[in-house]
Amino acid sequence: MCKVITFYSYKGGTGRTMALANVAYILAQQQEELAKNGRGNAKSVLAIDWDLEAPSLHRYFRNLFQNFHHRTKKRFERDIDRDSALNNHPGLIDFFDALKKEIDRTVQDENQISEEMAYNLLNEIQFDDFVIETDIPYLHFLKAGKFGKRYINDVRYFDWQNFSRCKLSVDEREELVRGKLTRTA
């Protein structure tokens, strides 16, 4: 079973993102210690930047991606190469867009999405494609999205109302996503 810890504030500038970055880092270190000492099953930590309008979590983790390169373990020699690769990596809004496209492709009536259909839809999306493994063991990261010319429009024009019309309750949706995250991290 995974635990979800949420950092929320209706006001910006309160230190929410910094707190998330620090807690994620500490939790990942604790998991590494568990693994080293053989005192239980270490679990991965997944930090998600849900602040789509002003994402900044990636800035806190910027220097923890020395080995990051889309699905390879190539080490970056220059910061600009790493930053460019990270900016171009898909994130949360891209995951939702992929899920919406899968819904549009396979579902006749979005109001009739059952729990089984939702599980099948989520399984069609390769969630690992959106998650970034950091250089810190057990710490993974899902940034807000692919930062480029289209990012702000991807966020602004995403049809959240239509996307959320399926008949699953909030608890059922949370359980589906939690299950996906648990299998991925």
User: CA dihedral in degrees (146, 147, 151, 152; nearest 10)?
Assistant: 140
- Residue-level pLDDT, tens digit, the chain, 185 residues: 678 888 888 888 899 999 999 999 999 999 999 999 887 788 999 999 999 999 999 888 877 776 655 455 555 556 667 778 788 889 999 998 998 888 778 777 666 667 777 777 778 888 888 988 888 899 999 999 999 899 999 999 998 877 766 655 556 656 666 666 555 55
What does pTM read for this prediction?
Answer: 0.82
Bridge-based pairing state of the strands 132-133 and 139-142: antiparallel
Residue 86 CB partners (closer than 8 Å, separation 6+):
58, 62, 65, 68, 132, 143
Residue (of 141, 129, 132) closest to 24 by Cα position: 141
